[in-house]
Amino acid sequence: MAGDQLNAEGVSRRVASFDIRYTQYLDMEGRPVQPLPALADDPEQIVSLYRAMVLHRTFDAKAIALQRTGSLGTYAPCLGQEAVFAAVGAVMREEDVLVPYYRECGAQLLRGVTMTELLLYWGGDERGMNFEGPRGDFPCCVPIASQIPHAAGVAMAMKYRGEPRVTVTVFGDGAMSKGEFYETANAAAVWNLPLVFVANNNQWAISVPRNEQTRCETLAQKAVAAGFAGEQVDGNDLIAVMTRLSAAIDKARDGGGPTLIEAVTYRLSDHTTADDASRYRSEAEVEENRQYDPVIRIRRYLVNNAYWNDDKEQRLEQECREAVEQAVQAYLDTPPRAPESMFDHLYEKLPVAYAGQRDELVHKGEKS
């Protein structure tokens, strides 16, 4: 039989096997390496996502600058991973739910969270998590991987109610070493949930490189052990991420269950503004990876096809700067919260037991 193997102890039989696909459409020059999928027929959408990626990058740079000048707390930049988050934001429907970690401002912006709200959050104000746009989306999640089971619960609610909605959760390569990832992947298959797992494999978890995180050849194959499909995409290739993510989301919406998409990227920035990556990786490695930059790649594609030019680029840069400046101004102009408001959303109604502590705080705030 195929897969039978003779060894010293006798014959053993292959009982399972798998293979993991990798998808890429554009090379570094933005040239197709294979016939492009249908979505390339809609250049307007690609242009608009390119614009979103540039806005995201402008916002990112501004957030770092604000942190450096003391106007923002610690921020996790996204440089080099914009294509993944543009794809997530573009492919999900409004009624779907995003359960993010902390590096996907780009996806949040496309789903309707405002830059001002994001700045409020990173600037140490809970109001930034009460965003007006996607009311069902989860806010950022700092404890690594702990958001992943929430996504299964959200997907379970969608399934229970028979709604054609999908949940997407995003996490890093480091998160995939945690139990929450394994536990949720396992349950998502058992329950056949409308859930798409998106791994942003940016090669580093702070200072720990991907190969010290796991000996798996791909992160995508971790889905196989849980009993569902996993695949890799070139995370620097917007068209590849969109295409494969779209397929996974459609499948989930049609009752086909979960998929894991491993987007292979590179974290071009420090881990956060509190990190100094030069302590653990070489500038040469970072330099090497700049050539795969997802923003440059999709721009080259658009320019190659005459959908984009220098003139448009200059106008876009100007627009993005203005939009970001406006958001920053709105952030800086946001009146501070009353200190005692920290009691306002603790419970639906503040229990009598804590009314005294609230009063204490009111008086603490008073100048003597």
Ligand X SMILES: Cc1ncc(C[n+]2csc(CCOP(=O)(O)OP(=O)(O)O)c2C)c(N)n1
Q: If binding means CB under 6 A, how many residues of this protein chain bind ligand X?
A: 16
Per the structure block, which two tokens stand in for 314?
């200059």
Rounded CA separation 239/25 (Å): 7
Restricting to residues 158-187, name those near Mg ion by CB under 5 A: 172-173
Query: Which residue's CB comes closest to ligand X?
Result: 172
Rounded CA separation 142/138 (Å): 12
Answer for which of 50, 204, 266, 308 binds ligand X (CB under 6 A) is 204
Residue type, 258: P
In the list another protein, Mg ion, ligand X, none, the entry touching 346 (Cβ below 5 to 8 angstroms by class) is another protein
In the list another protein, ligand X, Mg ion, none, the entry touching 8 (Cβ below 5 to 8 angstroms by class) is none
Closest CA to 262 of 206, 216, 193, 208: 216
Work out how close the CB of 91 gets to Mg ion at its nearest, in angstroms, rounded to a whole number.
22
Helix orientation angle between 82-91 and 238-253, rounded to the nearest 10 degrees: 40
- Nearer to Mg ion among residue 50 and residue 204 (C-beta): 204
Rounded CA separation 53/42 (Å): 17
Work out how close the CB of 249 gets to another protein at its nearest, in angstroms, rounded to a whole number.
18
Residue 321 is among the residues annotated as catalytic for this protein: no
In the list ligand X, another protein, Mg ion, none, the entry touching 266 (Cβ below 5 to 8 angstroms by class) is none
Q: What is the number of other CB atoms lying within 10 angstroms of the CB of residue 246?
A: 17
In the list Mg ion, another protein, ligand X, none, the entry touching 131 (Cβ below 5 to 8 angstroms by class) is another protein
Residue 253 is among the residues annotated as catalytic for this protein: no
- Nearer to another protein among residue 81 and residue 108 (C-beta): 108
Answer for which of 89, 149, 172, 230 binds ligand X (CB under 6 A) is 172
Q: What is the number of other CB atoms lying within 10 angstroms of the CB of residue 186?
A: 15
Q: Taking the mean position of all CA atoms in its chain, how far away is CA 230?
A: 17
Write the interaction track for ligand X spanning residues 249-278; mark x where CB under 6 A is met and - where it is not. Answer: ------------------x---x-------
**Per-residue buried b or exposed e for 322-360, using 16+ beta carbons within 10 Å of the residue's own CB:** eebeebbeebeebeeeeebeebeeeeeeeeeeeeeebee
Restricting to residues 316-345, name those near another protein by CB under 8 A: 344-345
In the list another protein, ligand X, Mg ion, none, the entry touching 103 (Cβ below 5 to 8 angstroms by class) is ligand X
Residue 280 is among the residues annotated as catalytic for this protein: yes
Residue 119 touching ligand X (CB under 6 A) = no
Residue 366 touching another protein (CB under 8 A) = no
Work out how close the CB of 127 gets to ligand X at its nearest, in angstroms, rounded to a whole number.
22
Q: Which residues lie below 8 Å from residue 6, measured CB to CB, with a gap of 6+?
A: none
| Of 57, 165, 210, 267, catalytic | 267
Stretch that binds ligand X, among 22-30, 159-167, 201-209, 231-239 (CB under 6 A): 201-209
What is the contact surface with Mg ion in residues (CB under 5 A)? 172-173, 202, 205
Binding site for another protein (CB under 8 A): 97, 99, 126-127, 129-131, 135-136, 138-139, 143, 146, 148-158, 160, 167, 179-180, 183-184, 186-187, 190, 344-348, 351-354
Catalytic residues: 267, 271, 280
Point out which residues bind ligand X (CB under 6 A).
103, 142-144, 171-175, 200, 202, 204-206, 267, 271
